[in-house]
Amino acid sequence: MGAVVSCLESCLRTIGRTIMAIINGIGGIIMAIVSGVVHFLDVIVGCLTCNYCSGSGRRRTGMTTGRRRGFGRRRYAGTTSAI
Cβ distance 73 to 82 under 8 Å?
Answer: yes
Query: Looking at this protein, which amino acid is placed at residue 80?
Result: T
pLDDT tens digits for range 63-74 = 555 555 555 555
Q: What angle do CA 17, 28, 22 make, to 5 degrees?
A: 25
Cβ distance 10 to 3 under 8 Å?
Answer: no
Q: How far apart are CA 56 and CA 64, in angstroms?
A: 15
pLDDT tens digits for range 1-35 = 788 889 999 999 999 999 999 999 999 999 999 99
Q: Is the pLDDT score of 83 beyond 70?
A: no
- pTM score of the predicted model: 0.51
Domain residue extents for the chain? 2-53
Q: Which residues lie below 8 Å from residue 49, measured CB to CB, with a gap of 6+?
A: 57
